[in-house]
Amino acid sequence: MTTAPPSPRVLPHPARDEIRLESVLHALSDPVRMRIVSELADAEAALSCSRFDLPVTKSTTTHHFRVLRESGVIQQVYEGTAKMNGLRREDLDALFPGLLNALLTASRRQTARGARA
Amino acid sequence: MTTAPPSPRVLPHPARDEIRLESVLHALSDPVRMRIVSELADAEAALSCSRFDLPVTKSTTTHHFRVLRESGVIQQVYEGTAKMNGLRREDLDALFPGLLNALLTASRRQTARGARA
DNA sequence: TCCGTACTACGATGGCTATCGTACGAGTCG
DNA sequence: CGACTCGTACGATAGCCATCGTAGTACGGA
């Protein structure tokens, strides 16, 4: 099992051309979700949900990941008990060139500028 | 009166360093508001509220403009009975380099791609 | 002064959403 | 099998928000 055959549990994702800018912006307008995306971008590899230390409960975490997936920002795949999350960089870059980078930079800058909140 | 002295009616704007990324993204996650910003960007000069032909009533229009102003995306100044609106390009570019352009490009692209909705 | 235009304020309303807790399903490991 | 971990589903709740209509204010021109 070098690359384990995916579980039957498959999650619905929007196709590339179904991704809407409004939905992406709405998804990223929540600080918790922006943080998730930020960490995901730094990681460069898929991360399981439990790798994030978020200031909300597990149910809320599930909710946020779903919003990100349904808006097309991330990709989710079951791997055993874990659910691996990856940024949909290619799709986003193809649809909205430069946007993801600008958003990540903006987020990092703001974090650096004022660590309050 | 080449440049009319501003009316005493002054509107509250966030200072540059009070502009929050989340608020900007939230403001722009509404199609109506994104459209306003898009037209404002094309105009290059300040426009009065009534220059926009939006699919909502006047009260709702007022609401959207206020959200844009309070999030720091636009600047509003009374000029007689009209309220002139301008993009806060300099502030946004200073805070979040490349973001505004990426957003405008993304919006234009999406509009071009599918004119549905 | 009177009227019209531009925009606002207020209140209502329906819908969305972030949050939680609890109970459950799916895998993994002993 | 049994226990443990990871994540989900469901229901509840409270707050926000896009929308509207109506009534009102501010300004400029006749």
- pLDDT per residue as tens digits for the range B33-49: 999 999 999 998 999 99
Nucleotide nearest to B82 (CA to C1'): C6
Q: How many Å from the CA of B84 to C1' of C20?
A: 44
Summarize the confidence of residues A43-55 as an average pLDDT: 95
* Protein-contacted positions of strand C (CB under 7 Å): 4-11, 17-23, 25-28
Measured CA to CA, the distance from residue B10 to residue A85 in angstroms comes to: 47
pTM over 0.85: yes
Side-chain half-sphere exposure of B97, counting CA atoms within 13 A: 4
Measured CA to CA, the distance from residue A112 to residue B68 in angstroms comes to: 24
Q: How many Å from the CA of A33 to C1' of C18?
A: 12
Q: Are strands B82-87 and B47-48 parallel, antiparallel or unpaired?
A: antiparallel
Say whether the CB atom of A1 is under 7 angstroms from strand C. Answer: no
Contact A110 B21 (CB under 8 A): yes
Say whether the CB atom of A82 is under 7 angstroms from strand D. Answer: yes
What is the per-residue pLDDT for A114?
A: 78
Tokens of B111: 């509009």
Name the more confident of B58 and B113: B58
At B47 the three-state DSSP class reads strand
Q: For residue B6, what are the CA distances in angstroms to A22, B9, B11, B70?
A: 35, 8, 11, 20
Under the phi-then-psi rule, with left for phi > 0, alpha for psi from -120 to 50, and beta for the rest, what region is A82?
beta
Quickly state the pLDDT bin for A115 (edges 50, 70, 90).
Answer: low
Name the more confident of A11 and A9: A11
CA angle B116, B111, A90 (to 5 degrees): 105
Measured CA to CA, the distance from residue A103 to residue A99 in angstroms comes to: 6
Q: DSSP per residue over A72-93, as a string?
A: TSEEEEEETTEEEEEE-HHHHH
Q: How many Å from the CA of B62 to C1' of D25?
A: 15
Q: DSSP per residue over A16-61, as a string?
A: GGG--HHHHHHHHTSHHHHHHHHHHHHH-S-EEGGG---SS-HHHH
Query: Which residue approaches D17 most closely, CA to C1'?
Result: B63
Residues 67-86 of A with CB under 7 A from strand C: 67, 80-81
What is the per-residue pLDDT for B95?
A: 98
Cβ within 8 Å of residue A27, ≥6 positions away: A33, A67, A68, A71, A73
Residue B5 has pLDDT above 50, yes or no: no
Residues 5-34 of A with CB under 7 A from strand C: 7-9, 26, 30, 32
What is the per-residue pLDDT for A116?
A: 47
Kindly provide the residue ranges of all beta strands, DSSP E only, lying in chain B, ordered along the sequence.
47-48, 74-79, 82-87
> Residue A22: which of B31, B98, B114 has the nearest Cβ?
B31
Say whether the CB atom of A59 is under 7 angstroms from strand C. Answer: yes
Q: Provide φ and ψ at B73, rounded to 5°.
A: -80, -40
